[in-house]
Structure 1
Amino acid sequence: MRRLSVIILFATGIVAGCYAQNNVESKKQFAMKMNAGIITEKIQETKAFYQEKLGFGVTFENEFYLLMHTPGHEAQLSFLLPEHPTQQPLFQPKFMGEGMYLTIEVDDVDELYNKLKSEGVKIEIDIRDEPWGDRHFAIKDPNGIGIDLVKYTAQN
């Protein structure tokens, strides 16, 4: 895995749509970085999964929060304990395991597929080529989040 980058499609679409709608009259550009946050009781299992299976590193960690980064530091993903007293109500309910996915682009999807399969990671969608050019497969993390691992191919 030479390069991993997390693409959070739903959030990117929301941010882009809100920015475009709210910025019609203004030409000012805002620098933005983004990381998706998942509220989960399974922080230690999640940390082990992303480190051992996908090569993520830990950017920051305390007793209730974990911030991880892809191997090349291109993107980050965070995890927060539910119902933590330091957090506002918006950030307290735990993720219920549905309605979210991550797309992680990799340089060699076949190599990663073979690695994960040999390690006994359950493959949710077997490796395949799509008519639009993607080659990908899917797994789930300990929180039930679908992870689409993909190699994009330019279409002619």
Structure 2
Amino acid sequence: MKRWLLLFIFFFFISNIYSQAKPGKMKLNAGIITAKLAESKKFYTEILGFGVSFENEFYLLLHTPDKQAEISFLLPEHASQQPLFKTAFNGKGVYLTIEVEDVDKVYEAIKAKGVDIKIAIRNEPWGDRHFAIQDPNGVGIDVVTYSHP
């Protein structure tokens, strides 16, 4: 009995340490440092249907229509920020993927709004059906519906 109690305590102790070492719930919010706060807000809300979670004179936080993801925009060289978060994004080397239920429907809606389509809707051999647009900051946005090839 004593041995079982010691084993129980040992496993409880180990599992407690292990559970504390693993990261808990995690949420990602991509951020772009840009002077184009108004243009970004207009693009993401009017073209993609995002909502405003928070906004002030130097920061804008937007959420997807289902509120499952967010993207933020920060004014460059703002006095409230540390040097790491002051340099403006240069418009290259970043893309976002937005997964939707019906990419054809979204494609037609975005086209009807007069948005410049950078990559026309297409099927890929690996199963994606997608198209791409670009936000005011130069970020490529791949709008996709995934399926099995």
Q: Which has the higher contact order (CA 8 A, sep 6+)?
A: 1
> Which residue is equivalent to 1:63?
57
Superposed, 1:32-47 pairs within 5 Å as 32-47=26-41
Aligned pair 1:118/2:116, yes or no?
A: no
| Larger helix percent | 2
User: Distance in 1 between the 2:133 and 2:139 partners?
Assistant: 8
Q: Give the TM-score normalised by the residue count of structure 1.
A: 0.81
Q: Which runs of 4+ in 1 moved over 2 A?
A: none
For residue 124 of structure 2, what is the amino acid of its counterpart?
Answer: E
> Which residue is equivalent to 1:96?
90
User: Distance in 1 between the 2:22 and 2:57 partners?
Assistant: 36
- Kindly tell me the number of residue pairs found equivalent between the two proteins: 131
Aligned pair 1:105/2:102, yes or no?
A: no
For residue 87 of structure 1, what is the amino acid of its counterpart?
Answer: Q
TM-align CA RMSD: 1.3
Identical pairs, percent: 63
User: Distance in 1 between the 2:26 and 2:110 partners?
Assistant: 33
> Which residue is equivalent to 1:72?
66
Q: Considering only CA atoms, is the larger Rg found in Structure 1 or Structure 2?
A: 2
Superposed, 1:18-33 pairs within 5 Å as 28-30=21-23, 31-33=25-27
Query: Is there any run of 5+ residues in structure 1 with no aligned partner, and where?
Result: 1-25
Q: Give the TM-score normalised by the residue count of structure 2.
A: 0.85
Query: Is there any run of 5+ residues in structure 2 with no aligned partner, and where?
Result: 1-17
User: Distance in 1 between the 2:58 and 2:42 partners?
Assistant: 16
